[in-house]
A and B are shown apart, each in its own frame.
Chain A
Amino acid sequence: MRSPTGNEIAAGEVILAVENVSLAFGGVKAVSDISFDIRKGEIRAIIGPNGAGKTSMLNVINGFYTPQQGRITYKGQTRAKMRPHEAAIGGIARTFQNVALFRGMTALDNIMAGRSLKMRSNLFWQLLRYGPAMTEEVEHRRRVEDIIEFLEIAHIRKVPVGVLPYGLQKRVELGRALAMEPDLLLLDEPMAGMNLEEKEDMSRYILDVNNFYGTTIALIEHDMGVVMDLSDRVVVLDYGRKIADGTPDEVKRDRAVIDAYLGVAH
């Protein structure tokens, strides 16, 4: 479970801190001067109306975007810039708003791809598919089968993911992220476009991951009911600024939040 880089962080301590981060695309400010932190072991929600800068924030955290200003401290190490695959090595996994799977590959291969970083055998053995490469393949396959069982997707193991219904694609994507055994899991709208039953399933998986593996989770979600039930703390963005931060109950009563969601009379 432990990644080779970074220090050990005890549960409840800050695993990731974002300080005064600003990000602009040309003249458009996606995120301005945002600070918040994520504590180890919690479920942290990022909410806000459309265009509030939530996805941009996730992209900054896992290195797709480099902020023009601000600092990010992950596992005690402060950085200005981190490349996405370095973030992955550091134990940050994520899913995407519009599902980014390897469409031509089976569900099994997609999840196996999530274990790329854990596999070590070299090109030579891989070309022969013998010796260490084979042992390794079997060992990781076992882990992946556990995840497949946990997410109840055994029946679609060998199906190319491009033909799966949306809800199952989202589940495979979660499986791929879990295969990385991440320390911090970023979920971008894990329940978008799902019906009630699918939402309940997904909520259960998220809670189970958090409970059983102690994985820290940061999620973006629009369904307020889900957010309030799942999360320990909520940060609210609006037009790229932070307008509230606290427990679900605190946030629900916050004047600025109510105004942002319901509109305000001037």
Chain B
Amino acid sequence: MDILYKIFIDPFMQMGQAPDLLVQTLWEGLVAGVLYSLIALGFVLIFKASGVFNFAQGIMVVFAALTLVGLYALLGRWGLPAGHLTAFIALGLTIGVMFALAVAVERLILRPLVNQPDIILFMATFGLTYLLIGMGQIVFGGESKVMIAEELYLPRGAIDFKLAGGFVSLQKIDIAAAIIASVMVATLAIFFQRTRIGRALRAVADSHMAALSVGISLEQIWVVVWFAAGIVALTTGIMWGARSEVSFALEIIALKALPVLILGGFTSIPGAIVGGLIIGIGEKLGEFYWGPLLGSGIESWLAYVIALLFLLYRPQGLFGERIIERI
């Protein structure tokens, strides 16, 4: 009885007794969820347009953030004054680098592998992952760096307000991240569903051969989609980097996108968002209220358990396209 009480009653009593802590936990979960969503969004973009699970999406986040910080430092060494202008020049250059990366991926990896089975392309993204890790370490070094958040006009500090006798503290950077992510998601969702290029992206995902026959250029589509994924990666890198620091450890966190995708469906942009939020909030609530029962640390695996349960009952995810195979 005691254990049932601790699982089913005690946590909710705690929530009721200290609503400020509950709100704070929910907020933390929401913010983590937004960042998971952003990473998952990068995966969804490439999966929708090429049917490939891009294992390199996580490292692209790190790579983009490192490039931005590295270029800012380099420009400083060349004599540009530290500050907003230099930061935005560095941002522009980084966008250029992400475009170059998209073109290179298309030329060197995707084009030679046209019409190959998906698993081959998936393996190729593993190769890309390790290439980017190696290149990143050679060029920028392995140590952690500080994101140039202030130079990019990202707000700092927190908004505190009183709630039910306690305090809730919202980081401004987190609010900014949530707003930027929402705008990005809305734009991409409409783009995919309702426009020519969006339709072409989905067409390429379904059948390379048929897409070619109606005059869709695979090369162009792949560059567009990898570039878009690169921009999403850069945004994620900036936001996440501003909260903690820019290091290769981010790549591990990026794997959290996997349960998010299973939950939301691999082909759905809204799914990536909702999945990210559920995982983020679920994780924080679980850790804070139920974690002590299991000696804490459940944050690192809870997401995967949720994903596993989903796989059993709804393998296409919450919003995934249900493709029925006719035999």
A: which residues have CB within 8 A of B? Answer: 62, 64, 84-85, 88-89, 93-94, 96, 100-105, 109, 112-117, 119, 121, 123, 126-127, 129, 133, 136-137, 160, 162-163, 166, 176-177, 179-180
Contacts and interface: CB of A to CB of B under 8 A. Distances in A.
Contacts of A117: 214-215
A104 B213 contact: no
B61 interface: no
Contact of A102 (B190, B198, B202, B267): B202
B200 interface: yes
Given A129-B190, A129-B195, 13 more contacts: A85-B216, A93-B214, A94-B213, A105-B202, A114-B214, A116-B215, A117-B215, A126-B196, A137-B195, A160-B321, A163-B324, A176-B214, A179-B214
B194 interface: yes
Interface in B156-178: none
B325 to A, nearest CB: 8
A104 B196 contact: no
8 contacts: A64-B212, A85-B215, A85-B217, A100-B213, A112-B196, A113-B199, A129-B194, A163-B324
Contact of B326 (A84, A119, A162): A162
A88 B200 CA distance: 14
A88 B213 CA distance: 6
B213 A93 contact: yes
A100 to B, nearest CB: 4
B171 to A, nearest CB: 29
Contact of A62 (B213, B216, B325): B213
Contacts of B200: 113, 116
A113 B207 CA distance: 12
Given A105-B199, A162-B326, A113 B205 contact: no
Given A105-B202, A116-B200, A123-B197, A100 B324 contact: no
B187 A127 contact: yes
A119 B202 contact: no
Interface residues of B, number: 32
Contact of B199 (A116, A127, A160): A116
A104 B321 contact: yes
B224 interface: yes
B209 A100 contact: yes
Given A93-B213, A114-B214, A180-B215, A100 B195 contact: no
Contacts of A104: 202, 205-206, 267, 321, 323
A102 B324 contact: no
B73 to A, nearest CB: 32
**7 closest Cβ pairs, A-B complex:** A88-B215, A100-B210, A102-B206, A84-B212, A126-B195, A117-B215, A119-B196
Contacts of A160: 321, 323
A149 B206 CA distance: 25
A47 B276 CA distance: 55
B203 interface: yes
Most interface-central of B194, B209, B213 (chain A CB within 10 A): B213
A113 B191 contact: no
A190 to B, nearest CB: 14
Most interface-central of B212, B218, B325 (chain A CB within 10 A): B212
Contacts of B206: 101-105
A119 B216 CA distance: 11
A84 B206 CA distance: 17
Interface in B179-204: 187, 190-191, 194-200, 202-203
Interface string B55-80: 00000000000000000000000000
Contacts of A96: 209-210, 213
Interface string B8-20: 0000000000000
A101 B190 CA distance: 22
Contact of A109 (B199, B218, B324): B199
A220 B187 CA distance: 44
Interface in B204-259: 205-207, 209-218, 224
A210 to B, nearest CB: 20
Given A100-B207, A162-B323, A116 B196 contact: yes
A139 to B, nearest CB: 12
B196 A121 contact: yes
A103 B191 contact: no
